[in-house]
Structure 1
Amino acid sequence: MFKAEKSAMAAALAITNSVVERKNTIPVLQNVLFERDEAQPGKLLARFTNLDIEAAVRFKAEIDSSFEAFTVPAGTLCDIVNKLPDGADVSITGERNDKLTAVTVKSGRSRFRLLVLPASDFNKMKFGDLPYSFGLPAADFAAALASVGFAVSTEETRYYLNGIYLHPAEDGACMVATDGHRLSKRIVRTEIDSATPGIIIPRASLRVIAKILPKEGSVGIEVSDTIIRITAGETTLTSKLVDGTFPEYQRVIPADHQMIATIDIKSLATSIDRVKTVAGERGRAVLFSFADQALRLTVNNPDAGEAEDEVTYEGEASLKIGFNANYVADALAHLSGDRFEIGLGGEGAPAVLRSVGGTRENLIVLMPMRV
């Protein structure tokens, strides 16, 4: 029914494991649907869904006049294609008994027979109108997802925190995530209608989005109150949104700080890595003692022992405050440049971290913990 290069097929099937559940109780949801691309003759669409996310990937193929839409197990076909030699061609022909019942996948001396399910069984999502649209630079979007996504909550009871909140801001599209202990915020410069609704992109969809974004160029985004669609190159990803209200996160970001210290990112990261060796799960709190431009990190774990390390800083901060060692390490890993500023307001107040020389709106907030 069609023939395509291995590289084209492999690219089309690359997001299989991100969308398709191999052990889904609904058999057709384990399948990929192949259908003609009505907008571009000479190309096919490989379509995947799990009923919350639907992805369609366009690829070039030589299509026979006898072609008809069909579905086959996506994971199996993906494995077959990936194991074929580079540069190979892949042909798929149909086997009929009144209707299409199986397909044969051939490449060189390799031959595989896969059972099909009817294309009519494939559950295409119903999207409705997507009245708001804007574009984002792909590289900036990917960087923002990475620098914000680490703070997404995994606590299912607070489902409204299980994603990234995207909303229009004065200078572009603002992305925010928080798990209640930390918050990350980043703005991507673009033109976006102020009437665009704030949306929460689910955690599961974020993983797929990160896979489809190109390294350069731009991506198109369309949204409604319930759906987001992202067009990146030959891939169109459509996802349901989290049905909930994101909290008023601005309230937890201090407007100003009593003290600001500037610290080398690598020096502090390695220092934290050393002292948390004895922290363990029960004693993961690290005491940060700022005094006379020397920051002393102290861990006291009754079950494992004690640790102490020190780094220098610039500024006039004088304070003792506790933080979760892993949260600080995560924050440092998602700050750009070599140095960062930490704004402090007191031992019980949130701390704000910003890269030196970076945009002021791009920040990470860490809640202190009792030590």
Structure 2
Amino acid sequence: MLTTKKSDLSSALGLVGTIVEKRNTIPILSNVAIERVDGGLRARMTDLDLEAEITFSAALGQDFRSFTAPGHLLREIVSKLPDGADITIEAKDDKQSPDSVTVKSGRSRFALQSLPTSDLSSMNLGALPFTFTVSTKLLLAAIGAVGFAISTEETRYYLNGIFMHPGADGMLFVATDGHRLAKRFIAVENAPADAPGVIIPRKTVLALSKILPKDGEVTIEWNDTKICFILPGTRLISKLIDGQFPDYVRVIPKNNGKQITVRGKDLSAAVERVQLISTERGRAMRFAFTADALTLTINNPDAGSAEEQIACEGDQVVEIGFNSRYVLDAISHLAEDDIQISLDDPVAPAVLRVDGDHAENLIVLMPVRV
């Protein structure tokens, strides 16, 4: 038997919605294991590609034994209990109630089916020779700045994650879906310069964004096939995507000589207004740059047209088309202040940067025909 607070158990079950599938051909993968470890208890969950271990505080009775319970159901039960509630869980294995778990709180009582903890396999990590430690704030900012560009096209599975690899005095994080590319640098002391570049799956990135606190440090360890993120009381283990990330450096233009500066907040607001006339299929927007103004235009044969002009700085004259939704995504991950746009011609990719930011931090947008 164990007794714990609602807040403690709720935190331990926080990744159930991300990792545990509601419908599973392997029944044990729908369950969460509650196991004794040094310092208390841990909740362990896996889908065989991603595994989380989260410790939490609880008072244990002498009769306590490890058990598993349906993850989503247990989380829902806990979420519906009053704040501050005490929860008692007792696992039984006898003839009258084989492999069952009883959850009690106040006048509420739930009897859940259970499966043996030995059935829930644990991921074999092996040696993890490459490692670095970084602030959680920096890592959160990096994955947030590039995660929007992860591809959801399953046929190009090697784009379904974030590419992490060593750079000069730090680590680089890159994502692309073929229409846009985002890159972010974080400074890391003693970064493993000889480490291989690896692709962190989209599902792992989502789990990371949920468990990384705003303050603190996270240690990252990896080899060619697996990666582990270690936080106080939490360990997230993931398989890596087995594929070759494209040579993204070739996609980033090096000779875009036309430089324009525009205020991000103004551009975002103007794009949102002009795109009102667009449809889900037709989001192509014309960007006409002149010496001191940027004119945004959309023509929709079914709905009409829209145009707006905002101020910009630069002495270049060029017209180019972009997907308006991709432009909004890019701005939201840059800044509301000045954004520098580097252009060449209407068929060449554009590079967006924040003035004064690290040179490696950028977003590349592919043009569209308008």
Quickly name the TM-score band, shorter chain normalised: over 0.9
Name 1:247's counterpart in structure 2: 246
Residue identity matched to 2:23: K
Would the aligned equivalents of 1:337 and 1:355 in 2 still touch at CA under 8 Å? no
Name 1:317's counterpart in structure 2: 316
Unaligned runs of 5+ in 1: none
In 2, Cα distance between the equivalents of 1:120 and 1:370? 57
Matches within 5 A, 1:208-287: 208-287=207-286
Residue identity matched to 1:155: E
Return the TM-score normalized by structure 2.
0.97
Residue identity matched to 1:145: I
Task: Give the secondary-structure state (helix, strand or coil) at the position aligned to 1:231.
Answer: strand
Name 1:104's counterpart in structure 2: 102
In 1, Cα distance between the equivalents of 2:92 and 2:278? 62
Would the aligned equivalents of 1:7 and 1:87 in 2 still touch at CA under 8 Å? yes
In 1, Cα distance between the equivalents of 2:249 and 2:99? 57
Name 1:3's counterpart in structure 2: 3
Structure 1 residues 100 and 197 mapped into 2: Cα distance closer, same or farther (>3 Å)? farther
Matches within 5 A, 1:1-371: 1-37=1-37, 40-41=38-39, 43-97=40-94, 101-191=99-189, 192-371=191-370
In 1, Cα distance between the equivalents of 2:291 and 2:342? 16
In 2, Cα distance between the equivalents of 1:343 and 1:197? 31
Would the aligned equivalents of 1:3 and 1:62 in 2 still touch at CA under 8 Å? yes
Q: Offset of 1:292 from its aligned partner?
A: 2.2
CA RMSD of aligned residues (A): 1.3
Q: Offset of 1:100 from its aligned partner?
A: 5.4
Q: Offset of 1:171 from its aligned partner?
A: 2.4
Task: Give the secondary-structure state (helix, strand or coil) at the position aligned to 1:112.
Answer: strand
Would the aligned equivalents of 1:93 and 1:105 in 2 still touch at CA under 8 Å? yes
Task: Give the secondary-structure state (helix, strand or coil) at the position aligned to 2:72.
Answer: helix
Unaligned runs of 5+ in 2: none
Q: Offset of 1:336 from its aligned partner?
A: 2.6
Output one character per residue of 1:120-168: Cα deviation in whole Å (capped at 9) or x when no partner. Answer: 1112222221111111210111111111000011111111001000001
Q: Offset of 1:337 from its aligned partner?
A: 4.5
Task: Give the secondary-structure state (helix, strand or coil) at the position aligned to 1:207.
Answer: helix
Output one character per residue of 1:73-98: Cα deviation in whole Å (capped at 9) or x when no partner. Answer: 01111111111112221111122316
In 1, Cα distance between the equivalents of 2:93 and 2:278? 64
In 2, Cα distance between the equivalents of 1:36 and 1:78? 19
In 1, Cα distance between the equivalents of 2:262 and 2:274? 17
In 2, Cα distance between the equivalents of 1:173 and 1:221? 11
Would the aligned equivalents of 1:300 and 1:307 in 2 still touch at CA under 8 Å? yes
In 2, Cα distance between the equivalents of 1:96 and 1:280? 59
In 2, Cα distance between the equivalents of 1:107 and 1:169? 52
Return the TM-score normalized by structure 1.
0.97
Percentage of matched positions with identical amino acids? 49
In 2, Cα distance between the equivalents of 1:144 and 1:22? 30
